[in-house]
Chains A and B, each alone.
Chain A
């Protein structure tokens, strides 16, 4: 019986190992080698040189900070907006099924397609936002050409695309809460705001946790959106770690260092998830 179970699982597990485990081993090996145009693209063992370079690489740490800022602000906004939308869609009103499907549309589109669309929306001076500003007699804003504005543009595009996904998962959570709880709470004189804080949010916590897990992991690995919307610019002010790793491999042809950047990013993610896993437990102790 056990043998048959293993046989049934073997093809899937082998492909999984090939796609997930093999690359990480390959990176571990590559990160101890120089393989770039200077070595004629042949791997040459260099010990820990790549790792020393990583620790002192200002661009890596700047990108790490920028990736964290992007993920934190995007996911935070998505959670708040998504909860609002989920509460709205959870009410009883005619036509909410249609609205639910329509509001899910942004989520289904390819990242690259809408990133291209946002580039036009943020265009200076001909995009619609700047046309509106110009029409009101205000100065146009160089959204994609200014380091202060460009990262906000990436956040807006990401929030637009992913909030429907967050809202949908939270809506599934809301539908699991029995309506009697609210009725009983209202009978005892609780206001809707108190009900949100004392019933909805605590019972929604497992769902919020899953959303946070999936969305933070995705947002910290952001690549498609930034590659197409800003290309990491201006002056690498929107560059994420994934984009930096990509540039190291495909533009600077420095494969050894690119593998080191990716492993470094992986280790940072691992440390981050460990922190995230500790977080909810701490809250439970307090409450």
Chain B
């Protein structure tokens, strides 16, 4: 397994080109003038501009508004999901038998269910209860859709903790809340963080439900905002403003991934092993 010569190095370069090339191309495009993109002879060194970013950031609403909306929805959905998933995962991990089998099976089926199928019924619920155009209400379906994976990941983490730990705390007279808060959860830090990150990523990126629940442009989250930009004629060729929007929309996630890549990778692979 030690042989890793030039062929291997070439493959690594190829992999990086394939993964990063399209993103670097967006970055390059976002910094070019329309004339330079259409090949109308800007000399070498010419044709660079920040105008695309200025245009996107001074739109109505400005682009940072979408990022803010997505961040708020992502953060609240994550908190709500964890709040509901932790007690459920705890109870599930402490039970055996039929109940656990049925609930786990149902959770796995729900986790692989293509949730886009649910958008119409959820939209009707939103209309009936006046939840459309409400960022906080949007967190309810997001939490519901994230719960299957979150409960499965967390209950696997609970199941790994030694039972003696909890039995001792029980003898000391700890209540259930105290045991969860002071004994069990502090030991589950990594699992809670990686589960939370996966939920945040999902909520940040979610498209069909945001698309149908939100219509006021100052409330749009990032995904439907990008689609609206794609559909508007203002930004047809050239693509400088498109590209500036994709770069700005990617940056927060790239930062998140680089900061927490270990936890995200752990969350994903845990899901693979125990799911």
Contact = CB atoms under 8 A, between A and B. Distances in A.
Contacts of B95: 2, 5
B207 interface: yes
A9 B89 CA distance: 8
Interface stretch (A49-57, A117-125, A279-287): A117-125
Contact of B11 (A2, A13, A88): A88
A115 B22 CA distance: 11
A228 B227 contact: yes
Q: Is the interface of B mostly helix, strand, loop or mixed?
A: helix
Size class of the B contact interface (CB-based, 8 Å): 35 or more
A38 to B, nearest CB: 18
Interface stretch (A58-66, A145-153, A213-221): A213-221
A106 interface: yes
Nearest to B243: A120
Contacts of A91: 1, 4, 8
Contact of A105 (B4, B19, B94, B147): B19
Interface in A225-243: 227-228, 242
B121 A102 contact: no
B22 A117 contact: yes
Given A88-B15, A108-B201, A123-B239, A160 B22 contact: yes
30 contacts: A9-B87, A18-B144, A20-B118, A23-B117, A23-B118, A85-B15, A91-B1, A93-B4, A99-B16, A101-B261, A102-B16, A105-B20, A108-B201, A111-B205, A113-B222, A113-B246, A115-B230, A117-B246, A119-B230, A120-B243, A126-B38, A160-B19, A169-B269, A173-B272, A211-B272, A217-B114, A242-B116, A246-B116, A249-B123, A262-B117
Contacts of A210: 272, 275
Nearest to A243: B116
Interface string A191-226: 000000000000000010011011001101101100
Contact of B91 (A9, A164, A259): A9
B151 interface: yes
B60 interface: no
B104 to A, nearest CB: 12
Given A104-B264, A176-B273, A207-B272, 10 more contacts: A5-B94, A12-B87, A100-B261, A108-B253, A109-B250, A115-B226, A117-B25, A117-B26, A120-B242, A172-B272
A117 to B, nearest CB: 5
Contacts of B39: 126, 131
A71 to B, nearest CB: 10
Contacts of A179: 1
Contacts of A171: 269
A85 B2 CA distance: 17
Interface of A: 2, 4-6, 8-9, 11-13, 15-16, 18-20, 22-24, 26-27, 85, 88, 91-93, 99-106, 108-121, 123, 126, 128, 131, 160, 164-165, 168-169, 171-173, 176, 179, 182, 207, 210-211, 213-214, 217-218, 220-221, 223-224, 227-228, 242, 245-246, 249-250, 255, 258-259, 262, 265-266, 269
A80 to B, nearest CB: 14
Interface of B: 1-2, 4, 8, 11-12, 15-16, 18-20, 22-23, 25-26, 29, 37-39, 84-85, 87-88, 90-92, 94-95, 99, 103, 106-107, 110, 112-125, 140-141, 143-145, 147-148, 151, 176, 201, 204-205, 207-208, 212, 222-224, 226-227, 229-230, 237-239, 242-243, 245-246, 249-250, 253-254, 256-258, 261, 264-265, 268-269, 272-273, 275
Contacts of B237: 123, 126
A160 B141 CA distance: 28
- Find the residue from A8, A117, A214 having the highest chain B CB count within 10 A: A117
B239 A168 contact: no
Given A15-B147, A88-B12, A242 B212 contact: no
A282 B105 CA distance: 22
B252 to A, nearest CB: 10
B178 to A, nearest CB: 15
Contacts of B145: 19
Contacts of B238: 126
Contacts of B261: 100-101, 104
B207 A223 contact: yes
Contacts of B204: 110
B114 A8 contact: no
Nearest to A217: B112
Given A11-B87, A114-B246, A245 B120 contact: yes
A15 B112 contact: no
B15 A103 contact: yes
Contact of A116 (B106, B118, B119, B226): B226
Given A12-B151, A92-B1, A112 B121 contact: no
